Amino acid sequence: MFTGIIAAIGKIENIQPQAGDLRLHVNTQDLDLSDVKLGDSVAINGVCLTVVEHKQSILGFDVSRESLDRTSLGALSKGSAVNLEKALAVGDRLGGHFVSGHVDGLATVISMQESARSVQFRFEIPAGLERYIAEKGSICIDGTSLTVNDVSDNWFEVNIIPHTMQETVMSYYRQGTKVNLEVDLIARYLERLLPNQSSGISRETLLQNGFIK
């Protein structure tokens, strides 16, 4: 489990293809590794991966075919910048929202527009995920916990302050960039628990089941 608060920006040190999948070596740079051991989970651009190698500031991860097919990790190359976050420990401050590190789909940067000192990003929503995204709700983009400013049938917008631009890989985004998207866990579980889930979640079903007043 993660919070969506990026701890450091790393760099891809090496990529080794291995029988259809690959091993990813990441230079974690400023990430504190004093409590990281083999078998621990680390989120790389929002994808939960297991540490299989640990040598000084370099961590190694095996990336399965499933992860390569469903995330943007397969598009990385040597030198690519990546968001890093260690798994949430009991007692840690929850600054973002609960993030599982399981990517739901790839969103695409449609546009970027300056808004005072911030940058407004518009992303195309992958088909089937639009019902989980709500205005002022939480969304996770490449492992970064963000608040949705506006949403339509096939796009949503977020506003990125200068600090977030500096401390994450969002400064590298351009029109057409593919990003890992994880929707809010609460929305996922609500749909699963509520009756008539095929029709999605509506205000009426939330009222009927006591989730809102």
pLDDT at 205: 65
State percent of the chain over pLDDT 70. Answer: 91
CA distances from 64 to 56, 85, 116 (A): 24, 20, 42
**Mean pLDDT score across all residues of the chain:** 91
Q: Which amino acid is at 20?
A: G
Structure tokens at 16: 């080794």
pLDDT band for position 195 (cuts 50, 70, 90): low
Structure tokens at 164: 């977030």
Q: Tell me the pLDDT tens digit for each residue of 22-49.
A: 999 999 999 999 999 999 999 999 999 9
CA distances from 44 to 96, 112, 170 (A): 17, 23, 14
Q: Tell me the pLDDT tens digit for each residue of 173-184.
A: 999 999 999 998
Scan for tokens 């970027």, then name that residue.
Answer: 112
First-to-last alpha carbon distance for the chain, in angstroms, is: 30
Range of weakest confidence among 69-78, 113-122, 129-138, 165-174 = 129-138
What is the C-alpha to C-alpha distance for residues 11 and 81, in angstroms, rounded to an integer? 5
Residue 11, pLDDT > 90, answer yes
Range of weakest confidence among 50-64, 81-95, 163-177 = 81-95
What is the C-alpha to C-alpha distance for residues 213 and 93, in angstroms, rounded to an integer? 29
Q: Tell me the pLDDT tens digit for each residue of 49-69.
A: 999 999 999 999 999 999 999
Delineate the domains of the chain, giving CATH numbers in brackets. Answer: 8-86 (2.40.30.20), 105-199 (2.40.30.20)
CB 188 within 8 A of CB 179: no
pLDDT at 95: 79
User: In terms of pLDDT, which residue wins out, 89 or 133?
Assistant: 133
What is the C-alpha to C-alpha distance for residues 60 and 49, in angstroms, rounded to an integer? 9
What is the C-alpha to C-alpha distance for residues 139 and 59, in angstroms, rounded to an integer? 27
pLDDT at 203: 61
